[in-house]
Chain A
Amino acid sequence: MTRQNSVKRKLLTTLVVSLAAMFFLLWWVVSGALQELTANYLEDRMELEIASILAELALDSTDFISLNDYHVDALFRFAFSGYYYQISLQGAENPQLLRSRSLEQFTLALPTLPMGGKARLFIKGPKNENLLALVQTIPLRGKTLTVAVAEDLTPIEEDLNRFQWIYSLISLLFLGVLTLTHVMAVRRAMLPIEQIHRDVIQLEMGRIRKLRDDVPEEVKHVVNHINRLLLRMEQRLVRSRSTIANLAHALKNPLATFSHLLHHPVLDGEVALQKELEERIALLNELIERELRRARLADHPLSGSFFSPEQSLGALTRTLKNINFHKNIEVSMDFSPGLLLPFDQEDMTEMFGNLLDNAFKWANERISVTLEEREMATHIWVEDDGPGVNPAEIDSLSQRGVRFDETRPGHGLGLAIVRETVEHYEGTIRFMHSPTLGGFRVEVVLPVPRLHPFQ
């Protein structure tokens, strides 16, 4: 899985980005709304204050304004209390300015509003604090009365800030929890794919025959399809094998007849002809054998059954002991019980059959078979306590393409089959002296088939 093309990554990115955007929007809207609500609430209160100030405002005949400030809120009287008012009258001969005592000598910077106007604005207070001010202009005897009430926003801002902090923290927490939940959900959703991946590896190694189909609907059809393909491959393998076996049967019977016909009395005395024909027939037989074996081996190793040494070696040993009942040979087998190897059962049975057959021919009393699974390769030793072979023979046996001489019937061909099988599985075969039993030892190393490195 590459970085660019990961479904998991894409899903998570989309989810996390959209979640973050949603939380930010929510945070922005809620904060704005709260500020607006607070300002509206303050404005309503200040409107009432303006009304109460206007009620106490007196204007005498000389257009002089005065305010009985004992009837307005006491907060307006304490210096820098945060509650201020400022009243001015323009248009008269002497412009007048009336300020709350809390303002001391400070004058609020107010804009000029059109007659009858009303405005809410943010201005700076005497201590450079933020004030929310409500300004209202009222026509009065042809003159303009401007009344402004202002309130320090600092405590409210502090409250708002604290609220925003808490709100942001909670939002972030939720964002984190939701992201985590999504990561887990996506990971869970991806589990079947990982299971399929593991199954495919197992399949490749021959440990299972088909993919498990207890997967979600979305991938089930893929799994079913692969399983159908596997089944078809297996069927094809079985069919091609039985076709080959039939062909072998069909070809070999007439050949056997030919070779026996050579000794018909009619041909008595024709020694040279008999010998010539016999050689040709033997060659033909060998060719058929080899090509059939090759065709059989060329099948895909993946689609076959896996190899169970217990079953196969047990049956082979039983068979060989029953055939060689006149010999008393002890066969010791060393491999972990329940071992399954990713090689075709029939190929391996054929290989071990020939190795063991060879060992049975030469052994005196003991044969040992050892299978060991090492780093991605299976090591196999088949050895006997027979006469063994001398170093020169070992060399010639080990050379590629050297034909095995038939010192005893069946000997050479058997090892040739083994070599072909080993080469088909890209393994190595070596012949040597057996250090434990003293006779002949064949060492076969078969790498575990891995078609593509997955990770």
Chain B
Amino acid sequence: MRILIIEDDQVLANQLKRKLEAAHFAVDMVYNGTDGEAMGNETVYHAVVLDLGLPGQSGLTILKNWRKNNNIVPVIILTARNTWQERVQGIDAGADDYLGKPFHVEELVARLKAITHRYSARSQGKWRVGGFCLDEERQCITKEDGETVALTAMEFRLMRVFMLAPTRIHSKESLLEALYDLDKEVDHNIIEVYINHLRKKLGKESFRTLRWQGYLFAPGEGE
């Protein structure tokens, strides 16, 4: 498995590299944010270990940019600022796990192995989750019974976010960020409207509303 470490402390990064290589990972390393973001976009990694306090580009920004560009590489955040407030920010930005410094390399390895299994595989520009298949070229979704449903541009963008990370609960805010530019003032309720549209097209039970948490795309699970 090929992983990328973005960490500005070179000694720590080199130690990590050595140990992860001992655990049979192929490790690439970069010491600043700007290069890290580019590398994450150029190469397909199985996972990224991302430090938050980086020179150049902050870890959180890198993560948000990747997610915005549909880069769904699993990310473990590594940080010394070990508060829950930051953990929430990190996970909402699209991270898959969070590890506070100091940590045991064994734990990092265990978590890396756990998250690399998370995402569904991509095949010829099509995404399959629970009987649904999202076609990126034609911007439509095919149901289990073969019926094809056309999606509007906004519905497609929203659907792509859900299909990319099917086990993930998405907050209204993060969904909004996927649809609009950050500086735009948009009412949160617009998300509810789109979800309702999608529910009508794909079936009521395909989306779960989790009170105060967000939305979960869970086809076949039901309420």
Q: Which residues of A are in contact with B by a Cβ distance under 8 Å?
A: 245, 248-249, 251-257, 259-261, 263-264, 281-282, 285, 289, 310-311, 313-319, 321-323, 325-326, 333, 346, 349-350, 352-354, 409
CB < 8 Å: which of B85, B102, B114 contacts A252?
B102
Q: Is B16 an interface residue (CB 8 A)?
A: yes
Inter-chain contact A319/B102, CB cutoff 8 Å:
no
Given that A260-B12, A318-B92 are contacting pairs, would A253 and B101 also be in contact in the complex, using a CB cutoff of 8 Å? Answer: yes
CB < 8 Å: which of B53, B79, B84, B211 contacts A350?
B84
Enumerate chain B residues within 8 angstroms of A314, measured Cβ to Cβ. Answer: 171, 211-214
Q: How many angstroms between the C-alpha atoms of A231 and B104 in the bound complex?
A: 42
Q: A256-B102, A353-B84 are in contact. List 19 more A-B contacts (CB 8 A).
A: A252-B102, A255-B101, A260-B16, A264-B15, A285-B102, A314-B171, A314-B214, A316-B84, A316-B88, A319-B87, A321-B213, A322-B167, A323-B97, A325-B168, A333-B211, A349-B84, A349-B85, A350-B85, A354-B84
What size tier do the contact residues of chain B reach?
35 or more
Inter-chain contact B15/A321, CB cutoff 8 Å:
no
Q: How many angstroms between the C-alpha atoms of A313 and B59 in the bound complex?
A: 24
Given that A252-B101, A253-B101, A260-B105 are contacting pairs, would A317 and B212 also be in contact in the complex, using a CB cutoff of 8 Å? Answer: yes
Inter-chain contact B9/A253, CB cutoff 8 Å:
yes
Q: How far is the CB of B25 from chain A (nearest CB, A)?
A: 16
Chain B 85-137 interface residues, beta-carbon cutoff 8 Å to A: 85, 87-88, 91-92, 96-98, 101-103, 105, 107, 114, 118
Q: How many angstroms between the C-alpha atoms of A346 and B101 in the bound complex?
A: 20
Q: Which residues of B are in contact with A by a Cβ distance under 8 Å?
A: 9, 11-12, 15-16, 19, 53, 79-85, 87-88, 91-92, 96-98, 101-103, 105, 107, 114, 118, 167-169, 171, 210-214
Inter-chain contact B9/A257, CB cutoff 8 Å:
yes
Inter-chain contact A253/B83, CB cutoff 8 Å:
no
Inter-chain contact B169/A315, CB cutoff 8 Å:
no
Enumerate chain A residues within 8 angstroms of B103, measured Cβ to Cβ. Answer: 256
Inter-chain contact A263/B15, CB cutoff 8 Å:
yes
Between-chain CB contacts (< 8 Å), 12 pairs? A249-B80, A254-B9, A256-B9, A264-B15, A315-B171, A319-B84, A319-B87, A325-B168, A326-B114, A349-B84, A350-B84, A409-B107
Main secondary structure, interface of A, reads helix
Enumerate chain B residues within 8 angstroms of A254, measured Cβ to Cβ. Answer: 9
Q: How far is the CB of A157 from chain B (nearest CB, A)?
A: 85
> How many pairs of A and B residues are in contact by the CB < 8 Å rule?
109
Quick one: which of A245, A318, A353 has the most chain B CB within 10 A? A318
Q: How many angstroms between the C-alpha atoms of A289 and B81 in the bound complex?
A: 10
Inter-chain contact B83/A260, CB cutoff 8 Å:
no
Q: How many angstroms between the C-alpha atoms of A333 and B213 in the bound complex?
A: 11
Inter-chain contact A325/B212, CB cutoff 8 Å:
no
Q: How far is the CB of B203 from chain A (nearest CB, A)?
A: 21
Chain A's closest residue to B169 (CB) is A318
Chain A's closest residue to B98 (CB) is A323
CB < 8 Å: which of B79, B114, B168 contacts A322?
B168
Q: How many angstroms between the C-alpha atoms of A350 and B85 in the bound complex?
A: 7
CB < 8 Å: which of B9, B12, B213 contacts A318?
B213
Inter-chain contact A313/B212, CB cutoff 8 Å:
yes
Enumerate chain B residues within 8 angstroms of A321, measured Cβ to Cβ. Answer: 169, 213
Q: How far is the CB of B21 from chain A (nearest CB, A)?
A: 13
Enumerate chain A residues within 8 angstroms of B210, measured Cβ to Cβ. Answer: 317-318
Enumerate chain B residues within 8 angstroms of A282, measured Cβ to Cβ. Answer: 102
Inter-chain contact B91/A256, CB cutoff 8 Å:
no
Q: How far is the CB of A222 from chain B (nearest CB, A)?
A: 34
Quick one: which of B15, B81, B88, B211 has the most chain A CB within 10 A? B88
Q: How far is the CB of B176 from chain A (nearest CB, A)?
A: 15
Chain A's closest residue to B103 (CB) is A256
Q: How far is the CB of A378 from chain B (nearest CB, A)?
A: 18
Inter-chain contact A350/B83, CB cutoff 8 Å:
yes
Q: How far is the CB of B71 from chain A (nearest CB, A)?
A: 17
Inter-chain contact B88/A315, CB cutoff 8 Å:
yes
Quick one: which of A251, A255, A315 has the most chain B CB within 10 A? A315
Chain B's closest residue to A285 (CB) is B102
Quick one: which of A260, A314, A353 has the most chain B CB within 10 A? A260
Q: How many angstroms between the C-alpha atoms of A314 and B214 in the bound complex?
A: 8
Inter-chain contact B80/A318, CB cutoff 8 Å:
no
Q: How many angstroms between the C-alpha atoms of A255 and B52 in the bound complex?
A: 17
CB < 8 Å: which of A252, A259, A350, A354 contacts B80?
A252
Given that A248-B80, A252-B101, A323-B98 are contacting pairs, would A346 and B213 also be in contact in the complex, using a CB cutoff of 8 Å? Answer: no
Chain B's closest residue to A262 (CB) is B15
Q: How far is the CB of A84 from chain B (nearest CB, A)?
A: 101
Chain B's closest residue to A251 (CB) is B80
Q: How many angstroms between the C-alpha atoms of A355 and B102 in the bound complex?
A: 21
Inter-chain contact B212/A311, CB cutoff 8 Å:
yes
Q: How many angstroms between the C-alpha atoms of A248 and B101 in the bound complex?
A: 10
Chain A's closest residue to B104 (CB) is A409
Given that A253-B9, A257-B15, A350-B83 are contacting pairs, would A322 and B105 also be in contact in the complex, using a CB cutoff of 8 Å? Answer: no
Given that A317-B213, A319-B92, A325-B168 are contacting pairs, would A260 and B87 also be in contact in the complex, using a CB cutoff of 8 Å? Answer: no
Q: How many angstroms between the C-alpha atoms of A375 and B169 in the bound complex?
A: 36
Inter-chain contact B81/A245, CB cutoff 8 Å:
yes
Enumerate chain A residues within 8 angstroms of B83, measured Cβ to Cβ. Answer: 245, 346, 349-350, 353
Enumerate chain B residues within 8 angstroms of A251, measured Cβ to Cβ. Answer: 80
Inter-chain contact B53/A249, CB cutoff 8 Å:
yes
Q: How many angstroms between the C-alpha atoms of A383 and B155 in the bound complex?
A: 38
Q: How far is the CB of A319 from chain B (nearest CB, A)?
A: 4
Given that A314-B211, A333-B212, A350-B83 are contacting pairs, would A319 and B12 also be in contact in the complex, using a CB cutoff of 8 Å? Answer: no
Inter-chain contact A261/B211, CB cutoff 8 Å:
no
Q: How far is the CB of B208 from chain A (nearest CB, A)?
A: 11
Inter-chain contact B15/A346, CB cutoff 8 Å:
no
Enumerate chain A residues within 8 angstroms of B101, measured Cβ to Cβ. Answer: 252-253, 255-256
CB < 8 Å: which of A318, A323, A346 contacts B96?
A323
Q: How many angstroms between the C-alpha atoms of A409 and B9 in the bound complex?
A: 25
